[in-house]
Each structure stands twice: as C-alpha cells, then as structure tokens.
C-alpha cells in the first residue's frame, strides 16, 4: 500500500497515469433554485459554450467549470466560447465574444486525458476570472480525504482527486475512523482511529506511508486541524475532563487548553493563525464561537436562522465560515461572514463543508444515513456536482490545504 500511496500523491500534470472509471460512475449536476440575489450568494453563473470535446475530456471540463461558477449554453447565448479536442492530447481555445478575441490557446501532452483536461480547466478559470483554478494548487494535484464506510463496517480513511476519481484507501485498520484533516503544505493527514481501542489521533505521512500516534490520552482525542502554515494544530481532547479545544505544535507537543466548556468540538483556524473557530454549547444552545489561538475571551458568532451550528471551516481568504446547521433531522450547508456582519445563509442541503483554496468552492457530503455522497459546490452560484462514487457511504471530506 505504501508504494501505491506514494504513486498516487506525487502525480503531476505531466506525469499522471490515466484513471480507470467504473461503468456506474456518475457525475450529477445539481443547482438550488435561486429566488433573487442575497448578497453575493445566488450569483448568476458565467455562460460558456463548450464544443469539440468528448468522453473523459468533456466530463472533466464540465465538472471543473460547473463547480467554479460556469454554466453551459449554446454558442449564441455564451459570453465565452470554448473549443478544442481531446482526441489524443488536449488542445483548446477560449474566445471572448464581447471583446472579439481569443484570450487563451493551449495544448497539453505527456499526461492522461483527465490530467490534461484538469489543467486546461484551471487555465480557463484563470483567463476568465483572473483567479487560479482548483484542480491543481501550487504545483500539486488537489486531493480530498474522507471517511468511507460499507454497511455494517467501521469505515476507513480514503483519499482521491477532488472530483472523487482515483480513490484509494489510506487506512486498513478495520477499526472506527473519523475526521481526516490535511496538514497544510504537506502530503500528510491527521485522523482519529480506534485501532488501539480508544479514539486516538494519528499522524500519517503519505509521502512515505509512515504513521504514528499523535494524541492517545485517556478519553477522547479527535478533530485535529492544521494551521495555515502547517506548524500548529488545534484538536479536541477530554484529558482534563470534558471535551475541550487545545492547541499545540504540529507534532502534538506544547499543548495548551483554550476552552473549558462542556461540549466543545470541531476547531478550525483563521488563515492568519490568530483565531480558532469552533462549535460549543452556550446557554443550552449550540453556537459557533471563536477564541484567540493564544488564549483569551470567547466571542460568539451570530448564526440566526441556522440552528444547531457545527463543523465550521474558515475560508482561506479569511472572509467566510462555512458550517453545518440542523433542522430536526435535516442538515444544511451554511455560510456566515467571519466578521459577524450580515446574516448567515443556507446554501445547500448537506454536512461537513471543507473549503478549496479558491475560497468559493466547497466539498461536502449529503444523502440519507448510510448512503452519503461527496459533492463539490460553488458557494456563490449554489451549483454543485456529485463526485465519482468511492466504495461505501462517503462523508467528512477535507480538501488539501
């Protein structure tokens, strides 16, 4: 397994091998009906026309662009016309119909059709929006980690490309696992496993396959979250009594307790490393709160209209916090300003949001109990697509940081 993991995570655009797709793999377009525009949520997608591609190349381009705020229309209705071919290597051009000029012309070789099409999609996004695409980030293939659980099984940690392709098991413990999280800037994961009979946090270096116990204190050890520079972690420990938020070095040393509540959970870092956002219980209500990473006063966030908030994740640009809210037995993905300004907004039905580096795309899971599916969402247009299905019920996704 070690060698397979190394091969999977060190792929680049020019060296990747083709992905094998199952016959039952499906990619489903979904969009929430929009009744007017509320702030920036519910924006109209950018209309593009796409022609000349087929098979895998077409599938990849439609997925990548749709979950970054584009929609596909006829050439007459399009603002941008994307033409090309994936018969052999991927080639393509993008024409701005308003400016009446070609704004992008590219040809790719030396990789699989899937990798070349991802690279083209990234350059389309850059050319039209002026922002990097999500398929690759800082020269690496974008990955997600998640929990996959077969009926009656304890589950294992998996990782895959961000669209769900090339899924591969990371753990084979045969024990309950939960809460995978990437160490920022490194090919390494934190996750909780009952491999030793207790909920412990492990650190797993995916570049060499080695892992070690990071937090194995009596009681609960879970929900490790990396700071943006990868040097520190926040985590939930109950070694002092109730589950509370602790911070420490990335290797688990230098731990400091930040909170003393009865039900603290799901820490995440502000991009500048100054604050920890987490879920807690205050005056008998579930709340989101933030606290200085060095310790200090707790500040509660307003999430009016989105009850029982949990599982927050801070966007890399620092502007937004995505989280799960719960109405009875139903779960929704919500977003609120990190400054507390404005109202929280419900985006789509689902749980466990995790931001991509572009601060507009989120991976999450949705579905019925025992049949969860991973999806990728464009927060601003509310469009989302289901990922390629990995084995079992898939949940708790985490995007590479």
- Identify the H or E element spanning 124: helix 113-129
Nearest in space to 349 (alpha carbons), one of 317, 392, 386, 321 = 386
More confident residue, 152 or 117: 117
User: Residues 195-207: what's their mean pLDDT?
Assistant: 97
- Specify the pLDDT at position 138: 65
Please give the Cα distance from 313 to 305 (Å, whole number). 19
- Specify the pLDDT at position 209: 93
Please give the Cα distance from 114 to 92 (Å, whole number). 14
User: Residues 383-397: what's their mean pLDDT?
Assistant: 94
Q: How far apart are the first and last CA of the chain?
A: 23
pTM: 0.89
User: Residues 71-100: what's their mean pLDDT?
Assistant: 97
CATH of 143-399, one of 3.40.630.30, 2.120.10.30, 3.90.420.10, 1.10.3720.10: 2.120.10.30
Taking CA atoms, 15 is separated from 57, 105, 120, 123, 364, in Å, by 17, 22, 15, 18, 29
| CATH class for the domain made up of 45-136 | alpha beta
Q: What are phi and psi of 49, to 5 degrees?
A: -110, 140
Across the chain, what does the average pLDDT equal? 90
Please give the Cα distance from 50 to 63 (Å, whole number). 12
CA pseudo-torsion sign 163, 165, 169, 174: positive
pLDDT at residue 369 is higher than 90: no
Extents of the domains making up the chain: 45-136, 143-399
| DSSP classification of residue 239 | T
Matching residue, tokens 């640009």:
317
Matching residue, tokens 């025992």:
370
Matching residue, tokens 């009744």:
35
3-state secondary structure of 327: strand
Question: Of all residues in the chain, what percent carry a pLDDT higher than 90?
Answer: 82
- Specify the pLDDT at position 30: 52
Please give the Cα distance from 314 to 320 (Å, whole number). 6
Q: What is the pLDDT of residues 217-232, one digit of tens each?
A: 999 999 999 999 999 9
CB 80 within 8 A of CB 94: yes
Q: What is the pLDDT of residues 5-50, one digit of tens each?
A: 433 333 333 333 333 333 333 345 554 333 333 457 889 999 999 9
- Specify the pLDDT at position 22: 33
Nearest in space to 164 (alpha carbons), one of 317, 22, 339, 266 = 22
More confident residue, 13 or 127: 127
Please give the Cα distance from 313 to 270 (Å, whole number). 9
Return the number of other C-beta atoms located less than 10 Å from residue 131's C-beta: 12
């Amino acid at each position: 397994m070690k060698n397979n993991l190394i091969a999977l995570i060190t792929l680049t655009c020019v060296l990747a091998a083709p992905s094998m797709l199952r016959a039952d793999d499906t990619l489903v377009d979904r969009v929430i009906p929009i009744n007017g525009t509320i702030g920036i949520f519910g924006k109209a997608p950018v209309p593009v026309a796409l022609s000349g591609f087929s098979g895998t190349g077409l599938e990849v381009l439609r997925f990548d662009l749709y979950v970054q705020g584009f929609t596909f229309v006829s050439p007459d209705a399009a603002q941008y016309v994307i033409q090309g071919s994936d018969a052999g290597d991927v080639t393509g051009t993008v024409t701005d119909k308003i400016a009446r000029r070609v704004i992008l012309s590219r040809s790719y070789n030396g990789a699989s059709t899937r990798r070349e099409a991802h690279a083209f999609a990234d350059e389309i996004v850059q050319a039209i929006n002026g922002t990097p695409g999500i398929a690759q980030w800082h020269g690496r293939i974008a990955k997600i980690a998640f929990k996959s659980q077969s009926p009656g099984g304890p589950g294992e940690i998996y990782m895959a490309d961000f669209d769900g392709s090339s899924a591969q098991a990371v753990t084979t413990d045969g024990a309950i696992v939960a809460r995978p999280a990437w160490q920022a800037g490194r090919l390494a994961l934190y996750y909780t496993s009952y491999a030793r009979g207790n909920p412990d946090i492990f650190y797993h270096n995916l570049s060499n396959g080695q892992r070690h116990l990071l937090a194995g204190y009596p009681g609960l050890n879970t929900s490790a979250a990396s700071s943006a520079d990868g040097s520190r972690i926040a985590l939930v420990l109950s070694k002092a009594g109730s589950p509370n938020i602790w911070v420490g070095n990335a290797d688990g040393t230098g731990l400091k307790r930040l909170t003393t509540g009865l039900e603290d959970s799901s820490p995440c870092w502000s991009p500048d490393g100054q604050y920890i956002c987490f879920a807690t219980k205050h005056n008998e209500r579930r709340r989101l709160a933030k606290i200085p990473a060095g310790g200090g006063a707790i500040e509660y966030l307003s999430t009016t209209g989105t009850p029982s908030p949990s599982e927050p994740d801070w966007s890399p640009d620092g502007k937004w916090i995505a989280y799960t809210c719960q109405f009875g037995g139903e779960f929704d993905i919500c977003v609120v300003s990190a400054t507390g300004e404005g109202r929280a907004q419900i985006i789509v039905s689902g749980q466990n949001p995790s931001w991509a580096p572009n601060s507009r795309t989120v991976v999450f899971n949705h579905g019925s109990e025992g049949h969860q599916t991973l999806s990728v969402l464009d927060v601003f247009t509310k469009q989302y697509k289901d990922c390629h299905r990995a084995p079992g019920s898939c949940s708790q996704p985490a995007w590479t940081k």
